[in-house]
């Protein structure tokens, strides 16, 4: 019994010292790992932030470019038929949207859904205007009807999308 007590007298402090050292080293290594992870995230943030800001800028530009008023100013075919102008406008909207599809990676899901819905609303307005005209209508008549219908929209989705994009940018940057 005396030998066991003598052994415990030497072993017990060693075990306590070993456990204390293990606990301290473990805490130090965990803190070091957290610090390195934080540094990595900060470096990634520095690289991603400009890309995210550019994505918001491009989506905002997309909304401006496909808004009905701006679209008609940019894409016009003097002397064209209503069907010719309609095809040009629809093609322009789809091309603009397709060119910016990758931006959905960098903006919020809510913002992207609103951008997508705004594009669909613009296409719907273009189709609706064409359907209201006779078959032989001119492009000028279509443009006038589109402008007239756009003035009736109190809160077009393109404007709502622009407001949301600006709000998100102001919140994040």
pLDDT in tens, 115-134: 999 999 999 999 999 999 99
Residues 173 and 162: their CA atoms lie apart, in Å, by: 16
CA distance linking residue 78 with residue 139, whole number of Å: 7
pLDDT given at position 64: 97
In a domain, 13, yes or no: no
Q: 151 lies in a domain? A: yes
Give the count of domains, the chain. Answer: 1
Look at residue 78 and tell me if it is in a domain: yes
Domain that holds residue 157: 49-172
* Helix then strand then coil, % of the chain, to nearest 5: 85, 0, 15
DSSP state of 102: G
What pLDDT sits at residue 76?
A: 77
Asked if residue 7 is part of any domain, the answer here is no
Q: Which long-range contacts (CB under 8 A, 24 or more apart) does 141-146 make?
A: 141/82, 142/82, 142/85, 142/86, 143/72, 143/76, 143/85, 146/68, 146/72, 146/89
Q: In this predicted structure, what is the pLDDT of residue 2?
A: 83
pLDDT score recorded for residue 137? 94
**Low-confidence spans in the chain with pLDDT less than 70:** none
Q: Report yes or no on 95 lying in a domain.
A: yes
pLDDT at 88: 95
What's the rounded Cα separation, in Å, for the pair 149 and 134?
A: 16
Q: Is residue 27 part of a domain?
A: no
In a domain, 133, yes or no: yes
The two tokens of residue 61 are: 């530009």
Whole-angstrom distance, CA of residue 70 vs CA of residue 113: 22
The reply to whether 122 falls in a domain is yes
pLDDT number for residue 172? 84
């Amino acid at each position: 019994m005396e030998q066991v007590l003598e052994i415990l007298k030497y072993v017990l402090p060693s075990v306590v010292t070993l456990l204390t050292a293990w606990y301290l080293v473990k805490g130090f290594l965990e803190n070091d790992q957290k610090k390195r992870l934080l540094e990595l995230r900060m470096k990634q943030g520095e690289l991603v932030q400009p890309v995210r800001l550019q994505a918001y800028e491009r989506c905002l530009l997309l909304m401006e470019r496909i808004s009905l008023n701006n679209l008609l100013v940019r894409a016009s075919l003097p002397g064209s038929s209503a069907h010719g102008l309609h095809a040009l406008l629809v093609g322009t909207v789809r091309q603009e949207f397709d060119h910016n599809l990758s931006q959905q990676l960098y903006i919020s899901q809510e913002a992207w859904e609103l951008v997508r819905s705004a594009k669909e609303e613009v296409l719907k307005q273009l189709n609706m205007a064409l359907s209201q005209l006779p078959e032989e209508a001119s492009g000028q008549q279509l443009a006038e009807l589109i402008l007239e219908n756009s003035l009736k929209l109190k809160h077009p989705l393109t404007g709502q999308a622009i407001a949301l994009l600006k709000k998100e940018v102001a919140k994040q940057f």
